[in-house]
Amino acid sequence: MNERPNLNQAGFGNLAPAPKGLLARGDTSGRIRVVGRSVSVFYGEKQALIDVNIDILDKSVTAFIGPSGCGKSTFLRCLNRMNDFIDAARVTGSVEIDGVNIYDPEIDPVQLRARVGMVFQKPNPFPKSIYDNVAYGPRIHGLARTKSDMDEIVITSLEKAGLYKEVKDRILEAGTGLSGGQQQRLCIARAIAVNPEVILMDEPCSALDPIATARIEELIDELRQNFCIVIVTHSMQQAARVSQRTAFFHLGTLVEEGETSEIFTNPRQSRTQDYITGRFG
Amino acid sequence: MFIYVLAAILALTLSGYVIGQRRSLKLAGGEARSLHSRPGYYGAYVAAWVGIPSLILVLIWLLFQGPVIDALLLASLPDEKTANLSSAQVSLLISEIKQVSRGNIFGQPDQAILDAGVRYQNWRLIASWSMLTAAISLCLAGLVINRARIAPAFRARQRVEGVMTGFMIACSIAAILTTVGIVLSLLIEALRFFSLVSPLDFLFGLRWEPQIAMRADQSLGSGAFGAIPVFLGTLEIALFAMLVAIPIGLFTAIYLTEYAHPKFRAVIKPVVEILAGIPTVVYGFFAILIVAPAFKNFMNSIGIDAAPNSAFVAGAVMGIMIIPFISSLSDDAITAVPRSLRDGSYALGATQAETIMQILLPAALPGIMGGVLLAVSRAIGETMIVVMAAGIIATLTLNPLEPVTTVTVQIVTLLIGDTEFDSPKTLAAFALGLVLFTVTLCLNVIALRIVQKYRERYD
């Protein structure tokens, strides 16, 4: 926890954030950031996720693939405790981020979610201006003392999300007036504005056209240098393109997890092979 | 007779439908697909031409039959009977003739009246029968002509849809015409009032004493029509009502949508909505028998003197009545905010309270404003609670513990009992109504503007 890199000091204020950000996080590269142990999720009587064990590395993109209903989104939502909002959902096992179990009763899920950002399947900008969308999180968490600090956070976040150039002349107009791809990048800017350690993406491109998708994929690749990113995707090409590690889920279990190149060229499990070659799913 | 005419038109219309449908099928050789439109449309087309023109004819006929017969009756009377009569005496004469023709003879009517009564009876009979004949012949003409127009290529569906569109336009115009009529009647009567009392005195006068003297030398004989106290009372009571209703209604809605267990919500929501279904006179009882004495005792116990009818009690009870308007509409508006916005806010580490304050309420604001507006106009227009709980004497005061009165209450008291429609006392009711209408109209326009502004920012 105490070695949590402070992107706010390191990255913000510098319009070309990558080198400084890299330096600040250099010591965590390749480190295991998130550890899931025996994670099971029950929706009422039904078990949606069965005994998942996984290590997720920092500064890399981990893709969760698998057929619909396999539990990959459910597991993703365990990582920032969004499952708490489903009354019938019950999580057992442990999820540790930087060595702290986030299901510990002493952990406040509200604070946790500031450390674990999330981007959703459908772009969901707030019905506010572009500026207020990005400033929403920093305002809540008191990340900016002055107006100019806030301006800087907003502009840097928009730049990191590759949106600043397109919106700089209408930053006070409604975020809902942007195109779908721009809205999704706004949501990414909003998530990184609170300076999270982990960013979860739940099929972030499924509502976008191919060009907007390509733009987001590039962005994910850039963000990898500063964040630990977990992405759920239905597109195996996307998983192959953007991720360094891939986890294949099937029927609520984690079938196989490893280097993306390994999973796609030389899977150990026959079920993984069948899925990635399109024999089912 | 009118019923028989209607029944005849209805029967002919139905048979027009059947005839049109059969005819189209026969022309198509039983093969409905070779027709331009489905057979039902041909039936409906013929039926429309059979029914609608003769219905219109009957309505116009009924509109003119009475006045035309009256004019004929008057003309048929000997000149010495009708000379030098005022319009009131003429209508008296005509109703006497009508009474005689029904057999209600009072006293000794003279021969001319008796003859006229017989004539009236005959003319009515003739008029009825000719109406029936005219209506039926129009129906039959429509039937024959339009049956002949049916052909497989005839575009019956477009014609029928045109008729339906016309019907819908007529319906929407009816609402507009009614509004225009109400405004005009208010305006005309109010103008009569303003010819008796200066508009400046009415709008800016500080005394409201609309009693008109029975005798010329009575004190306060002229009456005073300064509407300021009345409007002040209305605004005061509406303000208290909103002070009670907006917080309670809004927090009820927030609790029910965001915090309450679904089972609890399923019970509480309908129970809250029952409040809107209680007759206002019951709220009046409640205010005057329970709330007012309790409030007075409470105020006395802390050493403040309160009148038994106070603006505060009336406003508060009215506020309870309009809670459901606000809670129900706010509830709908908050529920309609998409789940994804909540998720987005929570995922950024916002608490439930922050999400409600900063995401849900702004997004739901147009709906909430709608509920508040409805509640305000309800509060301004409410009569019964105020009559019972606040009183009818117009006091110029802002003290919530004093009795006040409202516009609606004054309108009621001005029009109750024996009224003459040319005294300023009665006409004042129309002027009050006109001002009330203008005020609520302005409120609505302002609120619509606000809602639109927010829509631009938040959608």
Under an 8 A CB cutoff, do A141 and B359 touch?
no
Q: Which residues in chain A have Cβ-Cβ distances shorter than 8 Å to B363? A: 126-127
Check residue B212 and give its pLDDT: 60
Distance from CA of A137 to the nearest CA of B (A): 6
Q: How many CB atoms lie within 10 A of CB B175?
A: 9
Q: Is residue A53, in this structure, part of any structural domain at all?
A: yes
Interface confidence: ipTM more than 0.95: no
Check residue A281 and give its pLDDT: 56
Q: Does B363 touch chain A (CB under 8 A)?
A: yes
Mark which residues 150-179 of A lie under 8 Å from B by CB.
Answer: 174, 176
Q: What is the pLDDT of residues A226-265, one digit of tens each?
A: 899 999 998 889 999 999 999 999 999 999 999 999 999 9
Under an 8 A CB cutoff, do A191 and B347 touch?
yes
Q: Name the strand (E) or helix (H) holding A48.
A: strand A46-57
Question: What CATH number has the domain bearing residue A143?
Answer: 3.40.50.300
Q: Is residue A26, in this structure, part of any structural domain at all?
A: no
Torsion angle, alpha carbons of B289, B291, B292, B297, to 10: 110
Largest CA distance in chain A: 57
Coil, strand or helix: which one is A21? helix
Torsion angle, alpha carbons of A45, A47, A51, A53, to 10: -130
Q: Is residue A204, in this structure, part of any structural domain at all?
A: yes
User: Which neighbouring-strand residues pair with A55?
Assistant: A35
| Residue that the structure tokens 């208010």 belong to | B186
Cα distances (Å, whole numbers) of residue A175 to A50, A82, A187, A219 = 39, 24, 10, 19
Q: What is the pLDDT of residues A152-198, one digit of tens each?
A: 999 999 998 989 999 999 999 988 889 999 999 999 999 999 999 99
The residue of chain A nearest to residue B362, with distances taken between CA atoms, is A127
Q: Which of A122, A137, A176 sits opposite B349 (nearest CB)?
A: A137
The percent helix, strand, coil of chain B (3-state, each to 5) is 80, 0, 20
Cβ pairs bridging A and B (under 8 Å): 72
Q: Which residues in chain B have Cβ-Cβ distances shorter than 8 Å to A117? A: 347-348
Q: Which residues in chain A have Cβ-Cβ distances shorter than 8 Å to B358? A: 136, 140
**Is pLDDT at A25 greater than 60 in this prediction?**
no
Are B259 and B337 spatial neighbours (Cβ–Cβ below 8 Å)?
no
Question: Helix/strand/coil (H, E, C) string of A144-186?
Answer: CCCHHHHHHHHHHHHHHCCCHHHHHHHCCCEHHHCCHHHHHHH
Percent of chain A past pLDDT 70, that is, above it, reads 89
Mark which residues 232-251 of A lie under 8 Å from B by CB.
Answer: none
**Is pLDDT at A1 greater than 60 in this prediction?**
no
Hey, what are A117's tokens? 């950002």
Q: Is residue A21, in this structure, part of any structural domain at all?
A: no
List the strands of the sheet with A46-57, edge to edge. A46-57, A32-43, A89-97, A100-101
Q: Which residues in chain B have Cβ-Cβ distances shorter than 8 Å to A187? A: 344
Q: Does B458 touch chain A (CB under 8 A)?
A: yes
Whole-angstrom Cα distance, residue A115 to residue A124? 19
- Among B363, B365, B378, B360, residue whose Cα is nearest residue B444: B378
Which pLDDT tens digits describe chain B residue by residue (459 residues)?
A: 788 899 999 999 999 999 999 999 998 888 888 888 889 999 999 999 999 999 999 999 999 988 888 888 888 887 777 777 777 788 888 888 888 888 777 777 778 888 888 888 888 889 989 999 999 999 999 999 999 999 888 899 999 999 999 999 999 999 999 999 999 999 998 898 888 888 888 888 888 877 664 555 555 556 678 888 888 888 888 999 999 999 999 999 999 999 998 899 999 988 988 888 889 889 988 888 998 889 888 888 888 887 778 888 889 999 999 999 899 889 988 998 888 999 999 999 999 999 999 999 988 888 888 888 888 888 888 888 888 887 777 777 788 888 888 888 888 888 877 667 677 778 888 888 998 888 888 877 887 777 777 665 554
Structural domains of chain B in order of their starting residue, each with its CATH number:
2-154 (no CATH), 224-458 (1.10.3720.10)
Distance from CA of B360 to the nearest CA of A (A): 10
Check residue B217 and give its pLDDT: 56
Q: How many CB atoms lie within 10 A of CB B154?
A: 19
Q: Is residue A2, in this structure, part of any structural domain at all?
A: no
Q: Is residue A57, in this structure, part of any structural domain at all?
A: yes
Q: Is residue A157, in this structure, part of any structural domain at all?
A: yes
Check residue B221 and give its pLDDT: 53
> Distance from first CA to last CA of chain B, Å, rounded?
59
Q: Does B255 touch chain A (CB under 8 A)?
A: no
Under an 8 A CB cutoff, do B347 and A122 touch?
no
Q: Where are the alpha helices (DSSP H) in A28-175?
A: 72-78, 109-115, 130-140, 147-160, 164-167
Band (pLDDT 50/70/90 cuts) for residue A148 is very high
Are B353 and B449 spatial neighbours (Cβ–Cβ below 8 Å)?
no
Under an 8 A CB cutoff, do B340 and A118 touch?
no
Reported for B20-27, long-range contacts at CB under 8 A and 24+ positions apart, including other chains, are: B20/B44, B20/B45, B20/B46, B20/B47, B20/B146, B20/B147, B20/B150, B23/B147, B23/B150, B24/B150, B24/B152, B24/B156, B27/B150, B27/B151, B27/B152
Residues spanned by the domain of A119: 31-276
Q: Is residue A39, in this structure, part of any structural domain at all?
A: yes
- Among A111, A99, A81, A83, residue whose Cα is nearest residue A35: A99
Domain count, chain A: 1
